[in-house]
Amino acid sequence: INSFEAIMKDTEDIYTNVIEAEEDSFMIDNMVELVDSLHNPDGRRVFVFMNKADLRSLRRVAASDSSTPVYLPVEQVAETIGASRIITTDLLEEGSAIAMIPEKYCLVGANIFSPEFMNFHDIYQNLDVYRMEIVAGGAIEGLKSTAVLLPAGE
């Protein structure tokens, strides 16, 4: 492995499901479909990456006795959609998201952040740059262990 395999794509393959959001569907339904599309028979952790604005929309609930909105905890939204964790990023456009089983994405040079590695390589002045140079790749390992949600109409 000498490059990073992108998870965000618009064509489905044996490793990644691609789901296009329905035009009039609720975002929460799209997110549940995204997480449910993963092949996860062992019940491993599922991480979801999404735009901050989309997460804010999922968290917002109208209070029944007033017009003041209430925001659910992120953990409750994650549990609702079937994810272990939600991570926000500005790199994804609104309406898109990625779900993945982190143990099924492999990096070259596993355990490079272990104390043993750091102690062994103390002689390097710029350890972060050295780490980036030796960890130059990643790949999706598990079949259907990643999924992409594309915005409606794309």
Q: What is the pLDDT of residues 87-129, one digit of tens each?
A: 999 889 999 999 999 889 877 655 544 555 445 445 444 455 4
Q: How far apart are CA 91 and CA 78, in angstroms?
A: 20
- The one-letter amino acid at 154: E
Residue 90 structure tokens: 């500005």
Higher pLDDT, 98 or 8: 98
Whether residue 10 contacts residue 142, with contact meaning beta carbons closer than 8 Å, is answered with: no
pLDDT category of residue 3 using cuts at 50, 70 and 90:
low
- The one-letter amino acid at 98: I
pLDDT at 138: 75
Could you tell me which residues are beta bridge partners of residue 106?
139
Q: How far apart are CA 35 and CA 111, in angstroms?
A: 27
pLDDT at 121: 46
Q: How far apart are CA 71 and CA 133, in angstroms?
A: 42
Residue 108 structure tokens: 């070259």
pLDDT at 12: 93
Whether residue 150 contacts residue 20, with contact meaning beta carbons closer than 8 Å, is answered with: yes
pLDDT at 141: 87
Distance, C-alpha 124 to centroid of its chain: 32
pLDDT at 123: 47
pTM for the whole thing? 0.78
Strand (E) positions, 3-154? 16-20, 47-50, 60-62, 69-71, 85-88, 97-100, 105-107, 138-140, 146-150
Answer left, alpha or beta for residue 130, where phi above 0 means left and psi between -120 and 50 means alpha: alpha
pLDDT one-digit tens code per residue, 10-63 = 899 999 999 999 877 788 999 999 999 999 999 999 999 999 999 999 999 876
Q: Is the pLDDT of residue 81 over 60?
A: yes
pLDDT one-digit tens code per residue, 64-79 = 666 788 899 999 999 9
**102 DSSP assignment:** G
Q: How far apart are CA 33 and CA 116, in angstroms?
A: 41
